[in-house]
Amino acid sequence: MMKIAIIGAPDSVKKIHSVLTEQNSSIEFVELIEEKVENTPEIVEKIQDAVDGIYVTGIGIYSLVKNICKKPLTFTGRNFPSIAKAFWDLRNDFNTFNNLKLGVDIVDKKALGSVLDELDISLENYIHQEFVLNKTEKNYLDEYENLLKKKEINCIMTAFGHIYLYFKRKDVPVYRLQASNIEIVEKFEKLLKDIELKKNEDNSLGIKIIKIENNEISWEDKEKINKIILEYSKEVQGQLKITDNKEYILITTKKMLKNKDLIWCFKKSLHELNLLDKGINLGIGIGFGESIINAEKNARKALGVSLEKRNFEIYSSSGKSIKGPLFDVKEIEYRDQVDEKIYIIAKKAGISSNYLSKIKAISKKYDKTEFTSKELANFLEISERSANRIIKSIMENGYGKLIEFENSVKAGRPRRVIRIDF
């Protein structure tokens, strides 16, 4: 039976569950209630391995968990129907809007204007808190409190369950922007399609290539490696081929190749052999593609990166990008095929397009545009001196701006903090 988790504020979870269970009796829905948006990433981390998909109740949660969620994920927006419903409830409580000073959040300003026109509401005194990626739920709440204190608003319309309940308890006039039934069903249908695509993708074939780089490996060490790889191939239910040039080619499903637990056990067994201390480098590359030939080509591309790093790290490729080191804190996915914009910037600034692609991927993953030379060096796995050279070229060519200097408890020049924009 398919299992879907619904995560978010109590009223939203209850409504989504009610709408969906009525039409989907063959699906098991898991209700996970959390009033505060900031607490939801931990819930997603815990539940995602036990469900087929995750339905979160708003864009606030979605923006927090999208980078850690490995399962198909969707959320309900707050569009025309939900805005209209909130104003309908508000209209029942206010005979006139003449003295209304409304604070409203998240919704699209154009959609808000359309609702006001459609319902023939003349509302000049309202303050709109737009959705901003780095703005927390607490930031929205604090802003409302500040506006109430200054008497710039006297009523609130919010998409946040915690903010709604907070002001409800304080007897402040507050109205809930709740997703409509139509929006809920549309988003759920999209989630089901994404789950189906994911299943088809997981069952597609992939290739893992493991290569030993050392001509003087002992017979004993080679036998130990053979045993570990043979055992791993059985666990992933794969077809194993051992070549004359110290390569192990394993064909199995994408789902098996991406199994975190099996990969950890495999890496642990290899590290226990202390091969690096014996001068033995071992590269591991995983490839996916439309055919076995393409999958092998991509696996060799990933293998090359792994061999270069010399730390038994695993990299994967689907053709246009490289991802890795897999399941490491530094894991990123960056384009291997450079787009025109990156190519132009790299040529102009005299920087490797590979570094620029990685910086762009890091910025996207961590939602981060400001870096010190030390941070950039750690992310790119280069020296701080090299990172400073990259920063200098980026700034001189107009793709970065000095923001401030980082205070340091140690003697020496403080590190620059720059904002990168390309």
How large a percentage of the chain has pLDDT more than 90? Answer: 40
CATH 3.40.50.2300 in the chain is located at 3-76+181-200
Cβ–Cβ contacts within 10 Å for residue 78, how many?
28
pLDDT of residue 109: 82
Q: Where exactly does CATH 3.30.70.270 map onto the chain?
A: 203-334
Structure tokens given for 48? 């995602």
**Top mean-pLDDT range of 116-125, 207-216, 337-346:** 207-216
Q: Which of these ranges, 315-324, 361-370, 409-418, has the smallest mean pLDDT? A: 409-418
- With beta carbons less than 8 A apart as the criterion, state whether 351 and 390 touch: yes
Residue given tokens 């959040």 in the structure block: 105
Write out the H or E segment, with its range, that includes residue 7. Answer: strand 3-8
Report H helices in 325-371: 340-349, 353-366
Overall CATH class of domain 3-76+181-200: alpha beta
Using CA atoms, how far apart are residues 127 and 177, in angstroms rounded to an integer?
A: 15
State the pLDDT confidence band at 337, using cuts at 50, 70 and 90: low
What is the dihedral angle through the alpha carbons of 242, 243, 246, 252, rounded to the nearest 10 degrees?
-40
Whether the pLDDT of residue 122 is over 90: the answer is: no
With CA atoms as reference, report the closest residue to 132 among 157, 156, 106, 112.
106
Residues 106-126 have a mean pLDDT of 82
Mean pLDDT of the residues in the chain: 87
Both ends of the chain: CA-CA distance in Å? 45
Distance from C-alpha of 314 to C-alpha of 324, rounded to nearest angstrom: 6
With bands split at pLDDT 50, 70 and 90, how would you rate the model's confidence at 55?
very high
The residue-averaged pLDDT of 109-138 equals 84
**For the residues of 83-135, what is the DSSP string, one character each?**
HHHHHHHHHHH-S-STT--EEEESS-HHHHHHHHHHTT-----EEEE---TT-
Amino acid 342: pLDDT: 78
Q: What is the CATH number of domain 338-420?
A: 1.10.10.10
Question: Residue 268 above 90 pLDDT?
Answer: no
Q: What is the radius of gyration, based on Cα positions, of the chain? A: 27
Task: Kindly state the tokens that stand for 211.
Answer: 């290569």
User: Residue 418: CA atoms inside 13 Å, Cβ hemisphere, count?
Assistant: 25
pLDDT-derived band at 413 (thresholds 50, 70, 90) equals low
Q: Determine the CATH number of domain 80-176.
A: 3.40.50
Question: Rounded distance, CA 83 to CA 77, Å?
Answer: 10
Alpha helices in 381-418 (DSSP H): 384-396
Instruction: Say if strands 174-176 and 155-158 run parallel, antiparallel, or are unpaired.
Output: parallel
Q: If you ran DSSP here, which 8-state letter would residue 413 be given? A: P
Which tokens is 213 given? Answer: 């780089």
Q: Which residue has the tokens 């998909």?
A: 53
Percentage of the chain beyond pLDDT 70 is 96
Tokens encoding 26:
């063959």
Superfamily the domain 203-334 falls into? Reverse transcriptase/Diguanylate cyclase domain (3.30.70.270)
Average the pLDDT over 99-103 and give the result: 87
pLDDT-derived band of residue 405, with 50, 70 and 90 as boundaries?
low
pLDDT of residue 370: 84
Which residues make up the CATH 1.10.10.10 domain(s) of the chain? 338-420
Strands laid side by side in the 370-372 sheet = 370-372, 415-420, 400-406
Q: Residue 395: name the closest of 417, 374, 377, 378 by CA.
A: 417
Residue 411 has pLDDT above 60, yes or no: no
Q: Can you tell me whether residue 356 is helix, strand or coil?
A: helix
pLDDT in tens, 184-233: 999 999 999 999 988 888 888 899 999 988 767 888 888 888 999 999 99
Asked if residues 38 and 60 have their Cβ atoms less than 8 Å apart, the reply is no
DSSP single-letter state for residue 129 = E
Name the residue with higher pLDDT: 378 or 103: 103
Residue 415 has pLDDT above 80, yes or no: no
Whether residue 179 has pLDDT greater than 90: no
Q: Does the pLDDT value for residue 97 go beyond 80?
A: no
In the numeric block, the tokens 């005194």 are attached to 125
- Using pLDDT thresholds of 50, 70 and 90, give the confidence band for residue 267: confident
